[in-house]
A and B are shown apart, each in its own frame.
Chain A
């Protein structure tokens, strides 16, 4: 016998289905663990070069900026290529509405970081740059909290902690601060994403 009435519980369940699917569709999942790990590796190599040469922000500000701009550009390029590869494997277009949301969301933080870096360079205070880069990076990620998985939010808070350490505990060691922030935290995030994205080898 067909049912003639719909219970309130069923209506609630239907709306819950809609809510959970909406939450899923806004998630951006194409960030590859390879790209994140490689960003950590590049930051570590740049920190090692900066420490070994040495490239100090006060005595050689141009070399300091060139070193870290190069590391950032390399990390960006790797991120672009690995994300594109992941999208291609899933037979999806690289550029999507979600990627647009991510890019537009990160843009203000990126522009803000560039402006402040220029101001710090003019004022001769590039020693503060690592901590402030981490703050901007964290704020950019946090602004995308609704489209990224929870581990990215944790990463952002870790970057804020690393920024506090860079500004107040390690003011004379910019490369160590950069290694702890952009190197180590990216490594940890990449490791977690690796386990999350790849099937468990023990199964």
Chain B
């Protein structure tokens, strides 16, 4: 059974970002900056419907901003991560790192104390 962490650490994770596709979208937008719909769709292998759905969730929570414009008379939708989105993402990553660290500590302790409990530091 894999080592597990306590509920307090889990509660630090942002459930909006935690979903795999939205996590990928947030990572992409934070790294690449303003990105078009087509670029996100192509690079993250998402369908139009899926991408629309996830972006709507992120937008609803104020994590991304949508910008619509016309480039050479063609509609172009781009997305931009907000300040709130950056903070939420950083917090999410630090919680993930904490989970991994506590998992490692727990793994080492179990080896030395031969404890059978999978739970760590309550």
Contacts and interface: CB of A to CB of B under 8 A. Distances in A.
Interface of A: 4-9, 11-12, 14-15, 17-18, 21-22, 24-26, 88, 90-93, 97-98
Contacts of A22: 27, 31
B82 interface: no
Contact of A8 (B6, B42, B93, B100): B100
B76 interface: yes
Given A9-B2, A92-B36, A92-B39, 8 more contacts: A5-B4, A5-B5, A11-B103, A22-B31, A24-B44, A25-B32, A90-B36, A90-B39
Contacts of B72: 88
A17 B18 CA distance: 11
A97 B5 CA distance: 39
21 contacts: A4-B7, A5-B7, A7-B3, A7-B4, A11-B99, A14-B96, A15-B100, A17-B27, A18-B24, A21-B31, A22-B27, A22-B31, A24-B28, A24-B43, A25-B28, A26-B31, A90-B42, A91-B36, A91-B38, A92-B36, A92-B38
B43 A25 contact: yes
A15 B36 CA distance: 24
Question: Which secondary structure characterizes the binding site on chain A?
Answer: helix
Interface residues of B, number: 34
Interface centre among B71, B99, B100 (most CB of A within 10 A): B99
A25 B7 CA distance: 33
Interface of B: 2-7, 9-10, 13, 18, 20, 23-24, 27-28, 31-33, 36, 38-39, 42-44, 71-72, 74, 76, 93, 96-97, 99-100, 103
9 tightest A-B contacts by CB?
A8-B103, A25-B31, A21-B27, A11-B99, A25-B32, A7-B2, A5-B4, A11-B96, A6-B10
A11 B100 contact: yes
Contacts of B6: 5
A72 B84 CA distance: 47
Contacts of A97: 32-33
A18 to B, nearest CB: 5
A4 B38 contact: no
A196 to B, nearest CB: 14
A91 B76 contact: yes
B5 A8 contact: yes
Nearest to A92: B36
B99 A6 contact: yes
Contacts of A5: 4-7, 10
Contact of A14 (B5, B7, B18): B18
Contacts of A18: 23-24, 27, 93
Contacts of B7: 4-5
B56 to A, nearest CB: 20
Contacts of B28: 21, 24-25
